[in-house]
Structure 1
Amino acid sequence: MGLGGVSGGGIGALDKVDRETMGARVYRDLRSLIMAGQVSPGDRLTIRTLAAALGTSMMPVRDAITRLAAEQALEVLPNRTVRVPIMTRARFEEVRTIRLMLEGHAVETAAGIVTPEALARLRALHEEFTAEHNTGDPDPAALIRINKDFHFGIYEAAAMPALLQIIEGLWLQIGPVLNFDLRSKSKRLSERVALRHHGDLLDALGRRDGPAARAALAGDIVSAGDFILRCGSLV
Structure 2
Amino acid sequence: MPAEATTAIASPAIASLGKVDRETMSGRVYRDLRNLIMAGQVCPGERLSIRTVAGALGTSMMPVRDAIARLAAEQALEVLPNRTVRVPILTRRRFQELRTIRLMLEGHATAVAAERVTPPALDEIRALHAAFTAEHAHAEPDAGRLIAINKDFHFRIYEAAEMPALMQIIEGLWLQIGPVLNFDLRSKSRRLSDRVALRYHQGMLDGLEARDGAAARAALAGDITTAGDFILACDALLDE
22, 25, 49: which one aligns with 1:22: 25
Residue 124 (1) aligns with residue 133 (2): no
Q: Deviations over 1:133-170 (max 9, x none)?
A: 11211101000000000000011111111110000000
Q: Distance in 2 between matches of 1:234 and 1:78?
A: 22
Residue 224 (1) aligns with residue 230 (2): no
> Residue 55 of structure 2: SS of its match in structure 1?
helix
Q: Distance in 2 between matches of 1:152 and 1:180?
A: 18
Structure 1 stretches lacking a partner, 5+ long: none
56, 61, 81: which one aligns with 1:53: 56
3, 28, 37: which one aligns with 2:40: 37
Q: Distance in 2 between matches of 1:87 and 1:166?
A: 18
**Alignment correspondent of 2:68:** 65
TM-score (norm 2): 0.95
**Alignment correspondent of 2:178:** 175
Structure 2 stretches lacking a partner, 5+ long: none
Conserved 8 A contact 1:51-1:57: yes
Conserved 8 A contact 1:38-1:141: yes
156, 159, 168: which one aligns with 1:156: 159
Q: How many equivalent pairs are there?
A: 235
Comparing 225-234 with 139-148, greater Cα deviation is found at: 225-234
Residue 136 (1) aligns with residue 139 (2): yes
**Alignment correspondent of 2:81:** 78
197, 200, 205: which one aligns with 2:200: 197
Based on CA coordinates, which of the two structures has the bigger radius of gyration?
2
State the percentage of identical aligned residues: 73
Q: Deviations over 1:90-149 (max 9, x none)?
A: 111110000000000000011101000110100110111011111211101000000000
Q: Deviations over 1:61-114 (max 9, x none)?
A: 111011001001111011110011111111111100000000000000111010
Over the aligned positions, Cα root-mean-square deviation in angstroms equals 1.1
98, 103, 109: which one aligns with 2:101: 98
Q: Distance in 1 between matches of 2:14 and 2:122?
A: 44
TM-score (norm 1): 0.97
**Alignment correspondent of 2:168:** 165
Q: Distance in 1 between matches of 2:202 and 2:190?
A: 18
Q: Distance in 1 between matches of 2:9 and 2:215?
A: 60
> Residue 150 of structure 1: SS of its match in structure 2?
helix
Q: Distance in 1 between matches of 2:38 and 2:116?
A: 26
1:170 maps to a residue whose letter is L
